[in-house]
């Protein structure tokens, strides 16, 4: 595969039920793509999408190993990471940089930004006002706008403070996302690629074997033929010789039957037909 100038990475996590641990299993998922292509009205697809999921404390290290097995780090100029701003995601982004010529930027998924706005107030007009203030005005103006809502509705003070802090902690990442005009479908990928099998029904998985299941799931999500992968990986060269002389095929070469048709109440023609069938059949 040719390495483009720009690659996008979406990252998020999903917790699934565990059979043998107190806490749920944390599955970290990365989706890489090179752009978005429109295929029909209202429908778009990611270009050269690749899905990687793993349960590991060193998820970034494992992902980067696979990422740079696909792309040439010397040719890759721009990497944009779209996420919800989680701590483990922020911590691993610097590890992506392989040379000084690479530009790596973190963008906050618009879904999480809008979710925070919606949690501040249920009033549709106030939501529009907050969005407009953030996009078009200064940070100070946006903070004042949030504080005015707190004054008018003190019961929502805690919710407003919590979500305002989230937005301010990711302020530049949100601004860059809006200016960049690139959407994120990570929530949909988590739903279809992970939750659909691992969490949509009451299930529990072994923490010992979960990465084996995730690896097979990665193959499926990336359109790989699991059967062909298994066959191609089979490397047994042992030769097995069967001695035909040790095998007795007498059962199939002569007529023998435990069926005594003489004691069956049949006419002569019926007995003749049965005898003919038994003599010509290799089964009896």
3-state secondary structure labels for all residues of the chain: CCCCCEEEEEEEEEEECECCCCCCEEEEEEEEECCEEEEECCEEEECCCEEEEECCCCHHHHHHHHHHHHCCCCCCCEEEEEECCCHHHHHHHHHHCCCCCCEEEEEECHHHHHHHHHHHCCCHHHHHHHHHHHHHCCHHHHHHHHHHHHHHCHHHHHHHHHHHHHHHHCHHHHHHHHHHCCCCCHHHHHHHHHHHHHCCCCCCECCCCHHHHHHHHHHHHCCCCHHHHHHHHCCCCCCCCCCHHHCCCHHHHCCCCCCCHHHCCCCHHHHHHHHHHHHHCCCC
- pLDDT greater at residue 158 or residue 230: 158
Mean predicted lDDT score pLDDT of the chain: 86
Beta strand 78-83 pairing with 50-54: unpaired
In a domain, 250, yes or no: no
In this predicted structure, what is the pLDDT of residue 178? Answer: 85
For residues 94 and 193, membership in a common domain is answered with yes
Q: What is the CATH number of the domain that holds 82?
A: 3.30.420
In this predicted structure, what is the pLDDT of residue 239? Answer: 73
In a domain, 242, yes or no: no
Beta strand 103-108 pairing with 6-16: unpaired
Question: What burial letters (b/e) apply to 101-130, b meaning 16+ CB within 10 Å?
Answer: eeebebbbbbbbbeebbeebbeeeebeebb
**Residue 171 token pair:** 């302020």
> Residue 273: pLDDT above 90?
no
Residues 6+ apart with CB under 8 A from 251: none
- pLDDT greater at residue 50 or residue 226: 50
Q: How many structural domains does the chain have?
A: 3
* pTM recorded for the entire structure: 0.77
In a domain, 56, yes or no: yes
> Residue 280: pLDDT above 60?
no
Mean pLDDT of 94-117: 92
For residues 8 and 135, membership in a common domain is answered with no
In a domain, 129, yes or no: yes
For residues 214 and 260, membership in a common domain is answered with no
In this predicted structure, what is the pLDDT of residue 200? Answer: 86
For residues 205 and 102, membership in a common domain is answered with yes
For residues 16 and 145, membership in a common domain is answered with no
In a domain, 251, yes or no: no
Residue numbers of the domain that contains 155: 110-171
In this predicted structure, what is the pLDDT of residue 180? Answer: 79
- pLDDT greater at residue 96 or residue 184: 96
In a domain, 95, yes or no: yes
For residues 115 and 100, membership in a common domain is answered with no
Domain end position, chosen among 171, 197, 212: 171
> Residue 259: pLDDT above 60?
no
In this predicted structure, what is the pLDDT of residue 283? Answer: 45
- Percent over 70 (pLDDT), the chain: 84
For residues 163 and 271, membership in a common domain is answered with no
For residues 89 and 206, membership in a common domain is answered with yes
For residues 133 and 72, membership in a common domain is answered with no
In a domain, 198, yes or no: yes
Tell me the range of 236-240, 252-256, 268-272, 277-281 where mean pLDDT is highest: 236-240
For residues 99 and 197, membership in a common domain is answered with yes
Q: Which residues pair with 20 in a beta bridge?
A: none
- Percent over 90 (pLDDT), the chain: 65
For residues 102 and 114, membership in a common domain is answered with no
> Residue 51: pLDDT above 50?
yes
For residues 14 and 119, membership in a common domain is answered with no
In a domain, 268, yes or no: yes
């Amino acid at each position: 595969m040719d390495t483009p100038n720009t690659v996008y990475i979406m990252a998020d996590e999903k917790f699934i039920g565990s059979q043998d641990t107190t806490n749920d299993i944390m599955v970290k998922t990365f989706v890489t793509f090179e752009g978005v292509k429109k295929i029909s009205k209202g429908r778009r697809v990611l270009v050269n999408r690749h899905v990687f999921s793993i349960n590991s404390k060193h998820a970034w290290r494992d992902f980067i190993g696979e990422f740079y097995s696909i792309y040439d780090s010397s040719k890759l100029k721009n990497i944009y990471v779209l996420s919800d701003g989680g701590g483990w995601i922020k911590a691993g982004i610097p590890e992506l940089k392989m040379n000084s010529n690479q530009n790596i930027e973190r963008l906050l998924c618009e879904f999480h930004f809008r979710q925070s706005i919606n949690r501040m107030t249920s009033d549709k007009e106030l939501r529009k006002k907050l969005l407009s203030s953030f996009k078009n005005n200064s940070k100070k103006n946006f903070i004042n706008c949030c504080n005015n809502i707190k004054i008018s509705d003190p019961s929502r003070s805690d919710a407003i403070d919590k979500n305002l802090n989230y937005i301010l902690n990711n302020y530049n990442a949100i601004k860059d996302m809006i200016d960049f005009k690139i959407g994120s479908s990570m929530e949909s990928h988590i739903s279809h690629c992970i939750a659909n099998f691992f969490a949509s029904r009451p299930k529990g998985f072994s923490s010992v074997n979960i990465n084996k299941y995730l690896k097979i799931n990665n193959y499926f999500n990336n359109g790989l033929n699991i059967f062909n992968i298994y066959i191609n990986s089979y490397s047994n060269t042992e030769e097995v010789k069967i001695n035909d002389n040790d095998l007795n095929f007498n059962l199939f070469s002569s007529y023998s039957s435990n069926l005594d048709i003489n004691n069956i109440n049949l006419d002569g023609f019926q007995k003749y037909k049965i005898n003919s069938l038994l003599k010509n059949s290799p089964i009896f």
